[in-house]
Amino acid sequence: MNALWPSELWRFATGVGAWTPPGPQHVLVFAVVFCAIVDFVKLVIELLGRNAPRAFSADPTQVSAVIPSRDGAAVIAGTIEDLKRFLPAAQILVVDDGSRDDTAAVARSLGAQVFRFEHSKGKAGAINFAVHRVATPLTLLLDDDTRLGGARLPTSLITDDDFDAVAFHVLPDRRERNGARGNRFLGHLQRYEYGKSMEIGKRFHDTSQSVSCISGAIGLFRTRDLDRLHHAHSGVFQGEDLQRTLIHLLNGKRIVFANEPVWTVAPSRLGDWLRQRLWGWYPGLYHQFGNIVRLLFHRDVAWRLRYEMLYNVYTLVSDPLKTWSIVTFLLVPALRSWALVIYLVYLAFELYPWWVVRLPGTGRRAPLLTLFVFPIYGALNVALRTFAILTWLWMRFVSGVMKPRRGPKDRIA
Query: Other C-beta atoms within 10 Å of 321: how many?
Result: 16
pLDDT tens for 281-306 read 999 999 999 999 999 999 888 888 89
Residue 54 resides in a domain: no
With bands split at pLDDT 50, 70 and 90, how would you rate the model's confidence at 411?
low
- Angle, CA 80 vertex, CA 79 and CA 81 arms, to 5°: 95
Residue 218 resides in a domain: yes
Cα gap 335→337, rounded to integer Å: 5
Rounded mean pLDDT of the chain?
86
Query: What is the domain extent for residue 114?
Result: 60-268
pLDDT tens for 261-280 read 898 988 989 999 999 999 99
Give pLDDT, residue 183.
65
Give pLDDT, residue 26.
64
Q: What is the pTM of this model?
A: 0.88
Give pLDDT, residue 2.
45
- CA-closest candidate to residue 349, choices 20, 24, 10, 42: 42
pLDDT tens for 347-369 read 998 998 899 888 766 778 899 99
CA 117 to chain centre: 27
- The H or E element spanning position 18 is none
pLDDT tens for 49-104 read 666 778 899 999 999 999 999 999 999 999 999 999 999 999 999 999 999 999 99
DSSP string for residues in 193-251: HHHHHHHHIIIIIGGGTB-----TTEEEEEHHHHHHHGGGS---STTHHHHHHHHHHHT
Residue 12 resides in a domain: no
Residue 82 resides in a domain: yes
Strand 218-222 relative to strand 138-142, pairing: antiparallel
- CA-closest candidate to residue 62, choices 162, 137, 156, 120: 137
Q: Domain of 259: which CATH number?
A: 3.90.550.10
Query: Other C-beta atoms within 10 Å of 269: how many?
Result: 11
Cα gap 305→295, rounded to integer Å: 8
Residue 229 resides in a domain: yes
Question: How distant, in Å, are the alpha carbons of 11, 31, 235 from that of 21?
Answer: 11, 15, 52
pLDDT of 134 strictly over 90? yes
Question: How distant, in Å, are the alpha carbons of 79, 145, 383 from that of 149?
Answer: 10, 12, 35
Could you tell me if 177 and 263 are in contact, meaning their C-beta atoms sit under 8 angstroms apart?
yes
Cα gap 85→91, rounded to integer Å: 12
Residue 14 resides in a domain: no
pLDDT of 133 strictly over 80? yes
**Total domains in the fold of the chain:** 1
Residue 222 resides in a domain: yes
Which residues, in sequence order, are CB contacts of 285 under 8 Å at separation 6+?
239, 242, 312, 315, 316, 385, 388
More confident residue, 227 or 48: 227
Residue 154 resides in a domain: yes
- The H or E element spanning position 260 is strand 255-264
Could you tell me if 410 and 122 are in contact, meaning their C-beta atoms sit under 8 angstroms apart?
yes
Buried b (16+ CB within 10 A) or exposed e, 6-40: eebbeebeeeeeeeeebeebbebbeebbebbeebb
